[in-house]
Amino acid sequence: MSNVLVLVDHTDGTVRKTTAELLTIARRLGEPVAVFIGDGAQAALPALGQYGATKVIALTNPELSQYLVAPKAEALQQVAAKIEPSAILISSNAEGKEIAARLAVKLESGLITDAVDVQEGPVTTQSVFAGNYSVKSKITKGTAIITVKPNAATPEAAETSPEVEEFDVTISDAAKTAKITDSKPRAATGRPELTEAAIIVSGGRGTGGDFAPVEAFADSLGAAVGASRAAVDSGWYPHAYQVGQTGKTVSPQLYVAAGISGAIQHRAGMQTSKTIVAINKDNEAPIFELVDFGVVGDLHKVLPTATQEVTNRKS
């Protein structure tokens, strides 16, 4: 069986759920070989073995994280030259997409970004035009390079006992030209990660700037909090939580939109959610075209009462 290279997505060594999804997908296409950039490959072994990684290639060259993207692409090219994978799977985030873009040029290979499903072939599925169309594609040249969105697969365990293989890469001067001179970690909120959450409660301009009822309702459901661009642009909520075309694309089990009108660019980021609920005081708001359940009313009244009711039922 052919090798399928999976770039491990981790935060300071903690393997993210998307990696389990990538490994699960990789098993449909061949034998998953995980590539771990940075320190902590040894500690990550159980997490990677649980989802079927047959081998973990560790790249620890410090230059890989001192510069933006280019060295990582160069390193993956060198790994690919050695293990000759039939496909390369990378998480579809800003960095992942840029790594994939560079690899596509380097390896003269076809690239598909933002896959929401990948099946044998590989045949990918993408959701385009704000989720209004679904497109199935194939890669016709070289190594299939695919960036995969969160929640594209349900992680399925398949225990293996991989070992770490250190791999030496050489980074060219040409790849060391965009230097990261400072990095400020974002403060943790204690809530689930937006792109990975099963439930999201988002607030828009209709909150009038007060996100407390949105956060309280989210917490009663164990949900992540999102925001529309109007709320972000008004400075009411950080940009990292924006849902939509220029924010995050999410596809949770349940999406609750409070005080959000449902503009096409917002829909682009949430339309594929399994169940959609909206609270909006305007019964003609376009968001109601999408909902499974909608409440026409003032979110400042509905959310606090609903939060209380959820808390009562849960206790």
Partner 1 sequence: MKIVVCAKFVPDATADRRFRSEDNTVDRAGVDGLLSELDEYAVETALTVKEAGDAEVTILTVGPEQAADAVKKGLQMGADAGVHVLDDAIHGSDAVATSLVLSKALAKLEADLVVFGMGSTDGSMGVVPAMVSERLGLPAVTLGSEVTVDGNTVRIRRDGDTASDTVEGTLPLVLSVSDQANEPRYPSFKGIMAAKKKPVETWTLADLEVSADQVGGASSWTEVVEVTARPARTAGTIVTDEDGSGAAQLVEFLSTNKFL
Ligand X SMILES: Cc1cc2nc3c(=O)[nH]c(=O)nc-3n(C[C@H](O)[C@H](O)[C@H](O)COP(=O)(O)OP(=O)(O)OC[C@H]3O[C@@H](n4cnc5c(N)ncnc54)[C@H](O)[C@@H]3O)c2cc1C
Cβ distance 90 to 34 under 8 Å? no
Which parts of 14-53 interact with partner 1 (CB under 8 A)?
none
157 makes contact, choosing from ligand X, partner 1, none, with CB < 5 to 8 Å by partner type, with none
- Distance between CA 272 and CA 309 in Å, rounded? 28
- Distance between CA 76 and CA 88 in Å, rounded? 9
- Distance between CA 194 and CA 151 in Å, rounded? 12
The nearest distance, CB 52 to partner 1, in angstroms, is 25
Which parts of 210-229 interact with partner 1 (CB under 8 A)?
221
Sorted by sequence, the CB contacts under 8 Å of residue 303 that are 6+ apart come out as 213, 214, 216, 217, 258, 279
Sorted by sequence, the CB contacts under 8 Å of residue 105 that are 6+ apart come out as none
Closest CA to 169 of 44, 54, 72: 72
Asked if residue 267 binds ligand X (CB under 6 A), the reply is no
For partner 1, which stretch binds (CB under 8 A), given 31-39, 46-54, 66-74, 204-212? 66-74
Closest CA to 22 of 5, 36, 39: 5
Asked if residue 97 binds partner 1 (CB under 8 A), the reply is yes
Q: Which of 261, 271, 272, 307 binds ligand X (CB under 6 A)?
A: 261
Asked if residue 154 binds partner 1 (CB under 8 A), the reply is no
Asked if residue 230 binds ligand X (CB under 6 A), the reply is yes
100 makes contact, choosing from ligand X, partner 1, none, with CB < 5 to 8 Å by partner type, with partner 1
199 makes contact, choosing from ligand X, partner 1, none, with CB < 5 to 8 Å by partner type, with partner 1
For ligand X, which stretch binds (CB under 6 A), given 34-42, 58-66, 189-197, 280-288? 280-288
- Distance between CA 299 and CA 184 in Å, rounded? 34
Residue 245 counted as an annotated binding residue? yes
* For ligand X, the closer CB: 102 or 229: 229
* For ligand X, the closer CB: 26 or 243: 243
- In one-letter notation, the amino acid at residue 288 is F
For ligand X, which stretch binds (CB under 6 A), given 111-119, 127-135, 157-165, 294-302? 294-302
- In one-letter notation, the amino acid at residue 22 is L
Asked if residue 259 binds ligand X (CB under 6 A), the reply is yes
Residue 265 counted as an annotated binding residue? yes
The nearest distance, CB 111 to ligand X, in angstroms, is 23
Calculate Rg over the CA atoms of the chain: 21
- Distance between CA 133 and CA 199 in Å, rounded? 24
- Taking phi over 0 as left and psi of -120 to 50 as alpha, with beta for the rest, 232 belongs to alpha
Peptide bond into 122 cis (omega under 30): yes
DSSP-derived 3-state class of residue 193: coil
Total residues interacting with partner 1, rule: CB under 8 A: 88
Q: Which helix (H) or strand (E) holds 18?
A: helix 17-29
Asked if residue 180 binds partner 1 (CB under 8 A), the reply is yes
Residues of this chain that interact with ligand X (CB under 6 A) are 204-206, 228-231, 242-247, 259-261, 263, 265-266, 269, 279-282, 285, 298-300
Binding-site members for FAD are 205, 228-229, 242-246, 259-266, 280
Binding-site members are 205, 228-229, 242-246, 259-266, 280
